[in-house]
């Protein structure tokens, strides 16, 4: 266990003598893997005074969030709600509710967050099987079929938008494959919701989760979650309780459903923000939103090529929300990131896991997916690379 450093307790007099200035937050252009800059309308919504989490006005907002999330994901799942926690909490919620001890779970690992699914599933005592690809590549339907034939899992878990690599996993035919093997399909949409085409019902996805701070351009801390009727039935039939009280959907459904039974103090201001972010998405329209992200990403990719920089992922499988760029030989990845932040107030991300020090991660998500942001970044990149 990590030891804690001993610290002295300040006296009242000492605290009073310290001039603690009011909070000041630097203004940054957040072009990393998340969070993205929030839309000003979302910030304004979040800055209202809170109301009670059982207030009729708040309960109405919860209903609206559910309707808007179904639109964003293109699903009719009744069990669609927002988990009070970050995207990792929603990720854990899918596994906590779907996995029973001894269930065989097949996980596609082609990046950092595939590995995180493996870690979480093991903690819920799943029999974890993995299918691996190099970071930045995707799984073909034939590869998935071979693995399913060999393993016959109860759940297949895939990352649609691998945040560590910028690769987009094709989903066409995967849901049909899962039904052929009587298997649930679990999908990570953390870096795709709000920026990449998603059709959960059409694709036959049974469990999905996301976050608020990327394609939805909301503050982090409240995370979309959904279960299909097939997944809900598995939950209903499990012989034991869900081994995570806070994320137990049999309890949360009573709060988000018609019962309105108290479960926890909801993050009401984050709900205000999420509701507004989803309203803005609906007002823009999914098709227009997806097209905007694709066009902005293509502008970035062309500009990077003009600078002599190479994208890590093959164009056909590249995410429009997040681009991984190979670090040129002789360039220190962290030094460039530090210069962009300190000299230009631009944040980009570094590589994770196997790609640490080898790539930069550039996010163009939600409110930030605008051509002027691409111009700003490319101009700063050019100056830093030439300095």
- The residue to which tokens 């069990």 are assigned: 79
**Mean pLDDT score of the chain:** 96
pLDDT of residue 283: 98
CA atoms within 13 A on the CB side of 276: 22
pLDDT in tens, 78-93: 999 999 999 999 999 9
Residue 1 predicted with pLDDT over 60: no
Q: 71-130: per-residue pLDDT in tens?
A: 999 999 999 999 999 999 999 999 999 999 999 999 999 999 999 999 999 999 999 999
Q: Are strands 155-159 and 167-168 parallel, antiparallel or unpaired?
A: unpaired
Q: Judge: domain 40-282, CATH 3.40.640.10.
A: yes
pLDDT over 80 at 248, yes or no: yes
Class in CATH terms, 29-36+285-386 = alpha beta
Could you report the per-residue pLDDT of 294-303, keeping only the tens digit for each? 999 999 999 9
What's the confidence (pLDDT) of residue 2? Answer: 55
Domain ranges in the chain are 29-36+285-386, 40-282
- Cα Rg, the chain, nearest whole Å: 22
- 209, β-bridge pairs: 188, 225
Q: Is 11 left (phi over 0), alpha (psi -120 to 50) or beta?
A: beta
Determine whether 272 is exposed, middle or buried from the number of CB atoms within 10 Å of its CB (0-12, 13-18, 19+). buried
Give dist(CA 191, CA 176) in Å, integer: 24
By C-alpha distance, which of 40, 37, 46, 90 is closest to 365? 37
Instruction: Out of 8-12, 109-113, 275-279, 281-285, pick the least confident.
Output: 8-12
């Amino acid at each position: 266990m990590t030891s804690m450093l001993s610290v002295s307790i300040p006296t009242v007099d000492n605290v009073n003598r310290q001039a603690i200035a009011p909070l000041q937050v630097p203004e940054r252009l957040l072009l990393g893997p998340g969070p993205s800059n929030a839309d000003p309308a979302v910030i304004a919504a979040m800055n209202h005074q809170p109301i009670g989490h059982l207030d009729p006005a708040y309960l109405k907002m919860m209903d609206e969030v559910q309707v808007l999330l179904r639109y964003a994901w293109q699903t009719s799942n009744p069990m669609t709600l927002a988990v009070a926690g970050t995207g990792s909490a929603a990720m854990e919620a899918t596994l906590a509710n779907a996995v029973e001890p001894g269930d065989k779970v097949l996980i596609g690992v082609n990046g950092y967050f595939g590995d995180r699914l493996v870690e979480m599933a093991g903690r819920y005592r799943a029999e974890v099987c993995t299918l691996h690809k190099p970071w930045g590549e995707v799984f073909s339907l034939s590869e998935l079929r071979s693995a399913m034939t060999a393993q016959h899992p109860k759940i297949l878990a895939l990352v649609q938008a691998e945040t560590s690599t910028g690769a987009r996993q094709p989903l066409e035919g995967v849901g049909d494959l899962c039904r052929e093997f009587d298997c649930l399909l679990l999908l990570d949409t953390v870096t795709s919701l709000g920026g990449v085409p998603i059709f959960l019902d059409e694709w036959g996805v049974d469990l999905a989760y996301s976050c608020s701070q990327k394609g939805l351009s909301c503050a982090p801390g409240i995370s979309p979650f959904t279960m299909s009727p097939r997944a809900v039935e598995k939950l209903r039939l499990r012989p034991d309780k869900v081994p995570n009280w806070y994320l137990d959907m049999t309890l949360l459904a009573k709060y988000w459903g018609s019962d309105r039974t108290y479960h926890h103090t909801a993050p009401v201001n984050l709900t205000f923000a999420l509701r507004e972010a989803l309203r803005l998405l609906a007002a823009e329209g999914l098709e227009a939103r997806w097209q905007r992200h694709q066009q902005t990403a293509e502008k970035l990719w062309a500009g990077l090529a003009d600078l002599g920089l190479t994208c890590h992922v093959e164009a056909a499988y590249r995410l429009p929300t997040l681009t991984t760029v190979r670090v040129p030989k002789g360039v220190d990845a962290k030094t460039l990131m530090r210069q962009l932040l300190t000299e230009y107030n631009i944040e980009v991300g570094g590589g994770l896991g196997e790609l640490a020090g080898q790539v930069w991660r550039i996010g163009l998500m939600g409110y930030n997916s605008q051509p002027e942001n691409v111009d700003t970044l490319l101009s700063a990149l050019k100056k830093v690379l030439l300095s």
